[in-house]
A = this chain, B = another copy of it.
Amino acid sequence: MATPSNPIDEAVIVVMRSDSTRADVEHVAERLRDIGAEAHVSPGKHRTVVGAIGDRAAITQLPFEAFPGVERAVPVVSSFKFVSRDFQADDTIVDVGGVKVGGGNLAVIAGPCAVENRDQLFASAEAAKQGGANILRGDAFKPRTSPYSFQGLGEKGLELLTEARETFGMPFIAEVVDPRDVELVASYADLIRVGTRNMANFTLLSELGKQPKPVLLKRGFTATIEEWLNAAAEYIYKEGNHDVIMCERGIRTFETATRNTLDIAAVPVVKRLSHLPIVVDPSHSGGRRELVAPLTRAAIAVGADGFMIDVHADPETALVDGAQAIVPREFLELMETVRKLADVLGVTY
């Protein structure tokens, strides 16, 4: 788990104002040369453009737009180097407590949104197992928008999940929301989830980068794919933890008929740009029970490395997100279709 070296250049295009002087252009070039970067000056009839290519850490420091004569500076090379296909051509395959995810191996993650008590967890876990899930979900710490909402069972929840793991023979995933809890959650869980609200919580990500359990990184509400890959690359992967699974869970748009807008194209885009596996969360993106099945089918068809579904034996009494959980019978039906689609599409499951 050593930190890889830095082979990829950063490129920034500096567009000069039409009234910039030759001295302004030379000043930009000089500042670039000072830090060991290359400056390619392209004079147009009315505007000059300077292409800056060089070491990322150094280039990022230069406040080009504060230089005289500069109109704007546009970064052109995506920057998530360690997780890019340029850096590693082969798919990363993440081992989650013995279950392989990525490289054609499908993760089927199912279970209740939150662990409420032993009976509720075990009923969901049994349904997950029967349907063919290979990873159990269930949270012990819930970062709720409203403090009046159920906040999770804490360590007691992790103990119940551990017991369920033994009973049903499935590794489990649990969320962490506070950097001070990373060690605790990592001591129990097989896969640690970073929720949407924390995608840019660099303090938390850095802690996760320093421990050995794999991490599932959900996309931020309005994060671009580039920002999301950057968070994975720079704050988890770079700290030494290379076992990262991306999780598309919908982004914020003007649409209100769904809780979030599932960006289904993010799957092939991430797979083209990065070697990391990517799974889809059809429950939290749609936010409605009846959308889980169609969105799961779309996820398989588009080429995702898996999906994560809320299954609850009695959604109407669920303490968290009941409106989007499906019941065990619906999960079994859905998984039959999933198997047929996986077969047609040649996915190993």
Interface of A, secondary structure class, is mixed
Query: Of A95-103, A125-133, A260-268, which binds chain B?
Result: A260-268
**With a CB–CB cut-off of 8 A, which chain B residues contact A42?**
38, 40, 42, 51, 53
- Copies of this chain, complex-wide, total 4
A96 to chain B, nearest CB (A): 24
Known contacts A11-B15, A294-B267: A49-B51 contact under CB 8 Å: yes
Known contacts A150-B61, A261-B265: A225-B15 contact under CB 8 Å: no
**With a CB–CB cut-off of 8 A, which chain B residues contact A238?**
147
Bound Cα distance from A162 to B301, whole angstroms: 35
Bound Cα distance from A159 to B142, whole angstroms: 37
B294–A64 touching, CB < 8 Å: no
A215 at the interface (CB under 8 A from B): no
**With a CB–CB cut-off of 8 A, which chain B residues contact A198?**
201
A165 at the interface (CB under 8 A from B): no
A230 at the interface (CB under 8 A from B): yes
A246 at the interface (CB under 8 A from B): no
Interface residues of A in 293-349 (CB under 8 A from B): 294-295, 297-303, 315-316, 318-319, 321-323, 325, 337, 340-341, 344-345
B179–A66 touching, CB < 8 Å: no
B143–A45 touching, CB < 8 Å: no
Known contacts A66-B316, A262-B265: A297-B290 contact under CB 8 Å: no
Partner of A298, one of B147, B222, B227, B302: B302
Residue interface bits A40-68, CB-to-B below 8 A is 1, else 0 = 10101111010101001100110111110
Interface residues on A, range: 35 or more
B200–A177 touching, CB < 8 Å: no
Query: Of A104-112, A167-175, A185-193, A250-258, which binds chain B?
Result: A250-258
What are 12 A-B interface contacts by the 8 Å CB criterion? A7-B45, A7-B46, A13-B13, A15-B77, A38-B42, A40-B42, A66-B315, A66-B316, A178-B203, A252-B254, A295-B302, A298-B302
Known: A51-B51, A257-B273. 14 other contacts (CB 8 A): A7-B45, A42-B53, A49-B51, A61-B319, A65-B288, A66-B289, A66-B318, A145-B227, A146-B230, A224-B254, A253-B261, A261-B261, A268-B294, A297-B345
Question: A-side interface residues toward B, CB under 8 Å?
Answer: 7-9, 11, 13, 15, 18, 38, 40, 42, 44-47, 49, 51, 53, 56-57, 60-61, 63-67, 74, 76-77, 79, 86, 143-150, 177-180, 197-198, 200-203, 221-227, 230, 234-235, 238, 251-258, 261-269, 272-273, 285-286, 288-291, 294-295, 297-303, 315-316, 318-319, 321-323, 325, 337, 340-341, 344-345
